[in-house]
Structure 1
Amino acid sequence: MPVDLLIRNAHVLTQDASRPMATSLLIHDGKILDVDPDPALAGHARQTIDAAGTTIVPGFNDVHAHSVWFGLGLMEANAGAAASLEELYEIVAEAAAGKAPDEWVVASGFSPLLFDGRQPDRHRLDTAAGGRPVWIKHSSGHACTLNGAALELVAARADLGAPIEGGLVVMGDDGLPTGLLEENAMRLVQDILLPYPLETIERALDLATSHYLSEGLTSVTDAGIAGGWIGYSPREFSAYLNARDKGLLSVRMQPMLVMDALHEVPGHADDPASRTLDAGIRTGLGDDWLRLGPVKIFSDGSLLGSTAYMTEDYVGCTHNHGYLQMDADQLRASALAAYRAGWAIAMHAIGDHAVDHAIAIITEAQEKFGLNAQPNRIEHGGVVRPDQLDRIANAGIVLVPQPHFITEFGDGMARLLGPKRTAWSYPGKSLLERGVTLPGSSDRPVSNGRPLDVMQSFVERLTPSGEVYGPHERITATEALAAYTTGSAAATGSGHIKGRLAPGYLADLVFLDQDPTAVEPSNISATRVLATMVGGQIRFGAENLPAPARPADLEPALSGKETP
């Protein structure tokens, strides 16, 4: 029987314990048909690629990113490029040039942690934008900054001095808003500018997923769409479907709906009350290309913004240990109602006090209603005490840390946490030692999402100043590669079909110019992605590989005869 493709003469790191190394792969109908196949079977391949010793690994899988947010950032002014507040004002001025007098200036990627917590001045932003309203999205996703013109528009619709559950409009010493909005307070500006048109969201997905291919990503989980302060439209999942239908979705996607998108759905009197979508739609709906993931539930805020919920105060911030984004009883009740309806839980919890709540809620859900088909997860784990790690392991919960936060923000995080909590921050090795699934993730665009860069962060854990952040949590390059392949597949409930190059698994793979597990840790990120294959099709970098040959051209090589 003819088969689609043979890749031969490769250095294949299969991530399959039964055959960890191989030299050839036989691919048919988008899946791996055989590994190191019999020459007689290989000879039936319609096309063959001679990899010439190139390293091949399973496609990378980022289990916590924000693709629409990332794609929109590629369309907006880049506040992350500013090395000073003066440069930020220049970026805003450049973005404002040519806009209508009442048109909004939107910039993304600002991180106050890189400026010792300093914020842009609302009046300087007014001047830079020529009186136009300015919306600066922070890289953490948990805060934003408005200028005076934008605050006036918000104040016309809402009382800026009124308390906001799970959020804060920061006031200055003069009793006036500084322009900084934290957590749920961001909805004040989002209520003006959202929802985005579906075509805009589709364009963002196109830009984001096309970029992913260049980094070897073949699967991505988007951690929160369709509601809350992180969604861009109540119809956001439709944009994913539209993008797929139009050929704009370049990688496999697993979107998580936020809890706000769910609601009470009536049923038979004998059915338990549940929080879900109309028709009972829940986690798992879809196929291998686009499938609904867990429900995303925010419990606390951001370590970068000092709003993550801690049991102790932040260093140098008396009486500030962060806060929950909703009442604790409401958090528990809504999570249990969604789980009862069939939604796996992915609970955002960064501070150790929030992690306590997450463990308790997920454990109760599993004990009352059994395990979900997809694993339950705690997103981030910015500070996780050793006793919490034990409880996570015992409950079979997946913890999803982002080690590249250390590379980008580690010095600032260490100052806020102090030595004891820094040692508990964004664990790696401690999870593996306890048998907890360790996946690969970035939280892009909060942080750089290139998998090979994140793998190096897993291994080195170096802050921007070169300090080692929690040295006992370092893992090996082999373990880091496993995190981005088998670990991520397990975390997303797809370990039976992703993460390995083995018969029956999806033919999602990456061609690399070197073996990232065989180089010095400081050189892991220097590994170059030559090409990316999704479902047996080269979708990036075809020009970097030899043109596929016909079977007749390879008969001597396949039979072991010398080529004349």
Structure 2
Amino acid sequence: MKRLYQNGTILTMENDELAEAVLVEDGRIRYVGTQRSAPRVAPTETVDLNGKALLPAFIDAHSHFSAAANALLQVPLEECVTKEEITERVGAFIKERRIAPGEWVTARGYDHNQLAGGLHPDRDTLDRVAPTNPLVLQHRSGHVGVFNTRALQRLGVTDETVPPPGGLIQKKDGRLTGYMEETAFLQYLKQVPTPEPAALLDAYRLAQQKYASHGITTVQEGMMVDLMEPMLRAMLDAGLLRLDLVGYVDAAGGERLLNAFRAHLRTYVGHFKIGGYKMFLDGSPQGRTAWMRTPYVGGGCGYPTLTDDEARRYLQRALKDGMQLLAHCNGDAAAAQYLRLCREAAGQGADLAAIRPVMIHAQLLGPDQLDEVRALSVIPSFFVAHVYHWGDTHIRNFGADRAKLISPTGSALHQDICFTFHQDTPVLDPDMLETIWCAATRRTKAGVLLGENERIPVYEALRAVTANAAYQYFEENEKGSIAVGKRADLVVLDQDPLAVPPEDLRGVRVVETIKDGETIYAADS
């Protein structure tokens, strides 16, 4: 099948070049140039763009694909602004789904910053709505949450339970409140039973369609643990994947996964490959668990989740295996730890550029740290949509002067640093156009211009989710721009994103998403 695209704006993302026509054949781009010189070999389907824009498909630089699928089976709490709304939604979910006593209920997406008093729900609140069901609420950041009494009992957590290093199990007057942070919360969350395989496979299909509806053709499994092996295997055996999925194995283990998917190491098989390892160095700034060099307003600096020795061991593992390492770093102290260990490894002769280390989120990465980021070949993947979704919270937590420097994309661009963008789905929907809008306008929900000098041109924001993201995945020769020989991973937008005012970018819509030359999403279908 040959398709010739013409009569629209074609942004190649190749050195500002525009094209009049693109020919796709057998999943590859065979021609880029003028309409006049385009090959007219039969049989060729001519696609009239009718003034719409054709771009390379968007590439998700960091998210959690399985968690995004699971989220479709959970109680959505993103819009809740009171604890009463939370309990009403949970209660309605239990009733509508006819969940039997004793069955687990999982809810996600609440944000205590939106609730009255800025306080998390507690176990007593959850017990009233789910007295016979173990229930867990996961914070929108994914790093903290609350268990009810039935859940704590099922997990064996008591008033005497000691939290693991880098975590918190909260007590009040010596009694568990149900609230946990970081390693403690994640440790017990892993023990919550997964949905039935058939339900989860259906959710994988729906999650995949959601990414595709936002113009994305490459997605990430941002933290793979051994318990995920059966469902990943079932997904591959079912031939479910149409998007490319890049997985990152927990740097602290993952032997079962590595053995099970050895054929997938750095190579796509059935649209899935293992790209490297992942480690967490801190928490989230909106939860005040990100590890900071300077205290938050009101005190506290957050905390690390790994010692230097642990993080060093994981970095050395990645270097030894020739695998990329993703390090979750929100705070500037966590960034400093990662950069310090990278500098140490480079001083011992390690070739960091060969593994392209990534700093995930990099929200509070300091301007004074950017020189070292560049020198050590570290790729920051900025969660720049925080500017809109939590910018007002960051002003409260850090003060205006520090908050305006979150996701310092303008400074990074000025220093010629390769950076990418992501939404950390399911924390946020995988809406690349909203993220591009955030990077170009930097407006908070309250309308505050947060970091005028950190705004970047729309073209550079587009590069962050196309060419730069392809480079992050070592796929710059296959994806990220419209060039002869590359995969025909494309997206059609209803407007040229470079022609609309930056403040109107959120109104641009994905019309069609094309993977390897085949349409996998169409807005009118």
Fold shared, TM-score > 0.5 on shorter chain: yes
Go from structure 1 to structure 2 and tell me whether the alpha carbon gap of 1:280 and 1:184 turns closer, same or farther (over 3 Å shift): same
Where does 1:1-40 land on structure 2 (aligned, <5 Å)? 4-17=2-15, 20-36=17-33, 39=37
Deviations 1:212-246 (A, max 9, x none): 1111111122221225xxxxx241xx544543443
- Tell me if structure 2 keeps the 8 A contact 1:111–1:138: yes
Corresponding position of 2:415: 434
Mean Cα deviation higher: 369-378 or 445-454:
369-378
SS of match in other structure, 2:274:
coil
Q: What is the alpha-carbon distance in structure 2 between the residues aligned to residue 442 and residue 192 of structure 1?
A: 26
Corresponding position of 2:223: 224
SS of match in other structure, 1:488:
helix
Corresponding position of 1:309: 291
SS of match in other structure, 1:286:
coil
Corresponding position of 1:269: none
Corresponding position of 1:254: 246
Mean Cα deviation higher: 177-186 or 277-286:
277-286
Post-superposition shift, 1:476? Answer: 1.2
**Count of paired positions:** 520
Post-superposition shift, 1:278? Answer: 8.3
1:504 maps to 2:485: yes
Where does 1:128-527 land on structure 2 (aligned, <5 Å)? 128-154=129-155, 156=156, 160-172=160-172, 174-187=173-186, 189-190=188-189, 192-194=191-193, 199-226=198-225, 233-235=227-229, 239-240=231-232, 242-262=234-254, 284-286=266-268, 289-316=271-298, 318=299, 320-367=300-347, 368-371=349-352, 373-527=354-508
User: What is the one-letter code of the residue matched to 1:257?
Assistant: V
SS of match in other structure, 1:360:
helix
User: What is the one-letter code of the residue matched to 2:242?
Assistant: S
Deviations 1:85-128 (A, max 9, x none): 11111011112223212122211111112225311132222111
- Tell me if structure 1 keeps the 8 A contact 2:10–2:53: yes
Q: What is the alpha-carbon distance in structure 2 between the residues aligned to residue 250 and residue 288 of structure 1?
A: 9
User: What is the one-letter code of the residue matched to 1:363?
Assistant: R
Q: What is the alpha-carbon distance in structure 2 between the residues aligned to residue 32 and residue 144 of structure 1?
A: 46
Deviations 1:10-37 (A, max 9, x none): 21011112x7111211111101001136
Corresponding position of 2:81: 83
Q: What is the alpha-carbon distance in structure 1 between the residues aligned to residue 33 and residue 210 of structure 2?
A: 31
- Tell me if structure 2 keeps the 8 A contact 1:67–1:204: no
- Tell me if structure 2 keeps the 8 A contact 1:373–1:493: no
Post-superposition shift, 1:282? Answer: 8.6
- Tell me if structure 2 keeps the 8 A contact 1:199–1:239: no
Q: What is the alpha-carbon distance in structure 1 between the residues aligned to residue 263 and residue 240 of structure 2?
A: 24
- % identity of equivalent residues: 29
Go from structure 1 to structure 2 and tell me whether the alpha carbon gap of 1:397 and 1:8 turns closer, same or farther (over 3 Å shift): same
Q: What is the alpha-carbon distance in structure 2 between the residues aligned to residue 15 and residue 147 of structure 1?
A: 50
Post-superposition shift, 1:159? Answer: 5.8
Q: What is the alpha-carbon distance in structure 2 between the residues aligned to residue 71 and residue 420 of structure 1?
A: 38
Q: What is the alpha-carbon distance in structure 2 between the residues aligned to residue 281 and residue 257 of structure 1?
A: 15
Post-superposition shift, 1:56? Answer: 0.6
SS of match in other structure, 1:52:
coil
- Tell me if structure 2 keeps the 8 A contact 1:6–1:45: no
User: What is the one-letter code of the residue matched to 2:442?
Assistant: R
Post-superposition shift, 1:337? Answer: 2.5
Deviations 1:424-458 (A, max 9, x none): 31111111111111212111121232111111001
Go from structure 1 to structure 2 and tell me whether the alpha carbon gap of 1:481 and 1:170 turns closer, same or farther (over 3 Å shift): same
Post-superposition shift, 1:407? Answer: 0.7
- Tell me if structure 2 keeps the 8 A contact 1:309–1:351: yes
Q: What is the alpha-carbon distance in structure 2 between the residues aligned to residue 538 and residue 324 of structure 1?
A: 44
- Tell me if structure 2 keeps the 8 A contact 1:166–1:183: yes
Q: Which has the larger radius of gyration?
A: 1
SS of match in other structure, 1:94:
helix
Post-superposition shift, 1:80? Answer: 1.5
1:42 maps to 2:23: no
Q: What is the alpha-carbon distance in structure 2 between the residues aligned to residue 278 and residue 96 of structure 1?
A: 36
- Tell me if structure 2 keeps the 8 A contact 1:438–1:483: yes
Q: What is the alpha-carbon distance in structure 1 between the residues aligned to residue 269 and residue 150 of structure 2?
A: 46
Corresponding position of 2:63: 65
- Tell me if structure 1 keeps the 8 A contact 2:295–2:301: yes
Deviations 1:244-266 (A, max 9, x none): 44342231111111213345x9x
TM-score calculated relative to the size of structure 2:
0.93
TM-score calculated relative to the size of structure 1:
0.87
Gaps of 5+ in 1: 228-232, 266-274, 545-564
SS of match in other structure, 1:212:
helix
Q: What is the alpha-carbon distance in structure 1 between the residues aligned to residue 501 and residue 361 of structure 2?
A: 27
